[in-house]
């Protein structure tokens, strides 16, 4: 009797599981306020526990790799930025000098140029030291690090030309909707990453799930690193 009750309960639960369609769209709002639809983007459904474990492992790897160099990077970056501020001020002062009293102007401009040259050399040396540190920081604080070698997908699809996608899921499924996209802007490439939970309290079942600027994956939320502050 007990086994029959359990079997009946399981059948009732399965019978209550309805198939649902997830309709979504991926787009980016540009600086000019235009909606740029992202087509041919692979969208994955991934088990939340697998995705959480993956992100945790990637966070540990990034933290272990950055801690030995990050403080030094911030220190040098702060000095380089301060020197650039001084150089900008010297250039403004030099350009503001009038053409009157030429002999005095020549001496003033020469003094300003001499100081600019000295500070420029110092800043260049610091940037040379920063370069390998910055490459490591960029590598481990970018979305590409966290979205590399993702766990197996429950299902996957690609967006159409209008950035739209859809999935069939069981009503009680809990999933992560994961996507990565790129966009060429002039000579640079912008990268976008999403890891959005489903069900999602921010949309009703009949609404589209929008992947946009509002819910981009933020690597800094995964990492507990110091921020760029004031340096000597």
For 175, counting Cβ atoms within 10 Å of its Cβ (0-12 exposed, 13-18 middle, 19+ buried), the class is buried
Mean pLDDT estimate for the chain: 84
Say whether both 71 and 126 belong to one domain. Answer: yes
Angle between helices 102-141 and 48-96 (to 10 degrees): 180
Predicted pLDDT at 112 = 86
Number of domains in the chain: 2
Per-residue pLDDT at 85 exceeds 60: yes
Final residue in a domain of this structure, among 116, 140, 164:
140
CA 89 to CA 118: how far, in whole Å?
14
Residue 80 and residue 124 share a domain: yes
Overall average pLDDT of the 20-47 stretch: 91
pLDDT over threshold 60, residue 214: yes
Q: Are 106 and 160 found together in one domain?
A: no
**22 falls in which pLDDT band (50, 70, 90)?**
confident
Range of the domain at 93: 67-140
Q: Which helix (H) or strand (E) holds 111?
A: helix 102-141
Between CA 63 and CA 53 the distance in angstroms is: 15
Averaged over 159-180, what is the pLDDT?
A: 90
Same domain, 79 and 129: yes
Residues 185-202 have pLDDT tens digits of: 888 889 999 999 988 777
| Within-domain flag for 54 | no
Is there a domain that residue 124 lies in? yes
Mean pLDDT of 40-56: 95
**157 and 107 assigned to the same domain:** no
pLDDT computed for residue 109 by the predictor:
81
Convert the pLDDT of each residue in 109-144 to its tens digit.
Answer: 888 889 999 999 999 999 999 999 999 988 898 899
């Amino acid at each position: 009797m007990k086994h029959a009750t359990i079997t009946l309960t399981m059948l009732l639960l399965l019978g209550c599981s309805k198939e649902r369609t997830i309709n979504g769209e991926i787009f980016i709002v540009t600086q000019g306020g235009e909606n740029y639809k992202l087509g041919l983007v692979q969208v994955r459904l991934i088990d939340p526990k697998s995705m959480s474990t993956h992100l945790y492992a990637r966070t540990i790897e990034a933290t272990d790799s950055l801690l030995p160099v990050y403080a030094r990077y911030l220190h040098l970056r702060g000095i380089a930025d301060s020197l650039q501020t001084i150089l900008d001020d010297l250039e403004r002062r030099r350009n503001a000098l009038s053409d009157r009293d030429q002999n005095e102007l020549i001496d003033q401009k020469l003094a300003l140029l001499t100081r600019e040259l000295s500070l420029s050399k110092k800043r260049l040396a610091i940037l040379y030291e920063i370069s390998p540190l910055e490459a490591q920081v960029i590598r481990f604080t970018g979305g590409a690090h966290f979205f590399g070698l993702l766990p197996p997908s429950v299902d996957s699809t690609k967006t159409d030309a209008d950035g739209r996608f859809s999935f069939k899921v069981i009503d009680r499924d809990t999933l992560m909707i994961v996507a990565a996209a790129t966009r060429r802007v002039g000579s640079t490439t912008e990268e976008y990453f999403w890891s959005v939970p489903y069900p999602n309290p921010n949309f009703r079942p009949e609404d589209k799930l929008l992947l946009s600027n509002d819910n981009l994956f933020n690597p800094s939320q995964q990492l507990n690193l110091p921020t760029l502050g004031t340096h000597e």
